[in-house]
Chains A and B, each alone.
Chain A
Amino acid sequence: MYPRPFHYHRASSLKEATKIMSQLGEEAKLLAGGQSLIPLMKLRFANPQHLVDLNFVPRTSYIKKKGDALHFGALTRHAEIEKAAVASRIPILHDCAAGIADVQVRNRGTIGGSLAEADPSGDWATVLLALSTAVQCLGAGGERTLPLSEFIKDAYTTALGHDELVREVIVTIPAKGSGGAYIAFKRTAPVYPTASAAVQLTMDGNSCVDAAILLGCVGLTPVRAREAESALRGQVLDERAIATAMEAARVAADPQPDMRGSAEYKRTLVGGLVKRAIEVARRRARGEKVEVSHIYA
């Protein structure tokens, strides 16, 4: 399958890319890992007249620890994050990076591209919203940094202006006593999840001081299950508290019925995923090493 013909531009710096984008206008698109964009172009759902390739820009793939934050270059590949010891110290990041699609896609796909694409079924936004994450954007007019919650606007829609791109993703390292987990239900590795849950808990002994619960693939953007978070906050995490959170997550989900399942099925599924993720997050908050993988049907 061929995409429609397009003009190819190879940026040598991110600044140059923003300049090219502002000259070319709305018919141009940025190419990062291409694992979402190229399939869309082959199916001719996306038909940009110009592609501006970022893959030849040096020094865009890195993970740096600065103070209490990890800084990810926009073109850091999922596989690099999966293998990086510094990122694995935040287990929920490793769950995400290691579980995206398959080896081949993880070798190409990028964290910045995933956020900029804002696919409702993408993994990174769901996980990074459960942490404290900021997105540094560079445009022809300068630079700005936004919290991820303000960056993601809608399905496939971000706060990025046409000539803006993601330069860096900045994740605050969770404090000691905080643990998280990300679990998705997938029919098979290469496809998007049917539903997913990201849970980050801050614990004091058995009681939960703070909770972030995000649901993936069950809304136009990742869904923050606020009632589910409240059900855990300040509580001892016994069966009743967890059951209340599950039910609240089920209600918060707003899934579309599709070939992966009915809306009711996905709601029930997401409740179960939240329960599993809470149980793993709680153990990790205690410092236990818990390996978890997605659930493959």
Chain B
Amino acid sequence: MPETEIKPRRSKKRSAGGAIEKWPITVTVNGKSHSLAVEPRMLLVEMIRESLDLTGTHVGCDTTYCGACTVLLNGAAVKSCTMFAVQADGAEITTVEGLEKDGALHPIQKAFGDCYGLQCGYCTPGFMLSSVQLLTENQQPSEKDIRKAIAGNTCRCTGYQNIFKAIQAAAQSMKGA
């Protein structure tokens, strides 16, 4: 993979103490390696959205509650608002933009559409990534497994029923694949 040098777009404000400390990190996001220098307090979600311009990962509550910012960190779902970018050094990250492969939607994306598993769509990327961790680990999730897997994601539109059906449908189609 080619390495791209990306500079954070944030203006270089100065803190009272002088120059801002930056840490060089290398992260692989959706299969592409990036080398950047990040301020230690930069949250992972901000690096993803603002430095890498991948705005499919959303900031909802910003307090570790709603799960809109969920991404996969080395395959495990994490809330990217509750991790510093500098901690992701060396990690592989998957965001919603990385689910589609060669122009074809991931089964979970297709299922959310087919089952009307979304309305406004704000929480959807987070739900899909939590679902991907579940379906990677468990090809035949029970009803309880599904409910448990998305307990850290909040949707204020749908009442969850169609999200639930979408995950079941995705499990079926992935089993058949």
Name A residues whose Cβ lies closer than 8 Å to a Cβ of B.
1-8, 31, 34-35, 38-39, 41-43, 51, 53, 55-56, 79, 101-105, 107-108, 188-191
User: A7, A56, A102: which has the most chain B beta carbons within 10 Å?
Assistant: A102
B133 cross-chain contacts in A, Cβ below 8 A: 103
Partner of B21, one of A2, A8, A79, A108: A8
Q: Is the CB–CB distance between B23 and A103 below 8 Å?
A: no
Closest beta carbon of chain A to B136's beta carbon, Å: 12
Give the CA-CA distance A41 to B62 in the complex, in Å.
12
CB of B64 closer than 8 Å to a CB of A? yes
Q: Is the CB–CB distance between B152 and A42 below 8 Å?
A: no
With both beta carbons as reference points, the residue of chain A lying nearest to B130 in the complex is identified as A103
Q: Is the CB–CB distance between A108 and B78 below 8 Å?
A: yes
B154 cross-chain contacts in A, Cβ below 8 A: 190
Residue pairs across A and B with Cβ atoms less than 8 A apart, 7 shown, are A5-B40, A39-B63, A39-B64, A103-B134, A105-B79, A108-B83, A190-B66
A104 cross-chain contacts in B, Cβ below 8 A: 67, 70, 77-79, 130, 152
Tally of A-B Cβ pairs under 8 angstroms: 90
B65 cross-chain contacts in A, Cβ below 8 A: 190-191
Also in contact, A7 and B76, with CB within 8 A (given A38-B84, A102-B67, A103-B152): no
A sample of 6 more A-B contacts (CB under 8 A), given A5-B20, A7-B21, A105-B82, is: A2-B43, A34-B83, A38-B83, A103-B134, A104-B70, A108-B78
Also in contact, A6 and B130, with CB within 8 A (given A103-B152, A189-B152): no
Partner of A190, one of B64, B77, B130: B64
Closest beta carbon of chain A to B165's beta carbon, Å: 20
Name B residues whose Cβ lies closer than 8 Å to a Cβ of A.
15, 17, 20-21, 23, 39-41, 43, 62-67, 70, 73, 76-79, 81-84, 86-87, 89, 130, 133-134, 148-149, 151-154
B20 cross-chain contacts in A, Cβ below 8 A: 5
Closest beta carbon of chain B to A44's beta carbon, Å: 11
Closest beta carbon of chain B to A258's beta carbon, Å: 17
Give the CA-CA distance A56 to B90 in the complex, in Å.
10
Q: Is the CB–CB distance between B40 and A8 below 8 Å?
A: yes
B82 cross-chain contacts in A, Cβ below 8 A: 34-35, 38-39, 105, 108
B64 cross-chain contacts in A, Cβ below 8 A: 35, 38-39, 105, 190
User: A3, A5, A31: which has the most chain B beta carbons within 10 Å?
Assistant: A5
Q: Is the CB–CB distance between B151 and A107 below 8 Å?
A: no
Partner of A5, one of B41, B89, B134: B41
Q: Is the CB–CB distance between B77 and A103 below 8 Å?
A: yes
A102 cross-chain contacts in B, Cβ below 8 A: 67, 151-153
Q: Is the CB–CB distance between B15 and A107 below 8 Å?
A: no
Give the CA-CA distance A190 to B81 in the complex, in Å.
14
Partner of A51, one of B39, B40, B63, B149: B40
Q: Is the CB–CB distance between B83 and A189 below 8 Å?
A: no
Q: Which 4 A-B pairs have the closest CB atoms?
A: A102-B152, A8-B40, A189-B151, A107-B76
Q: Is the CB–CB distance between A5 and B62 below 8 Å?
A: no
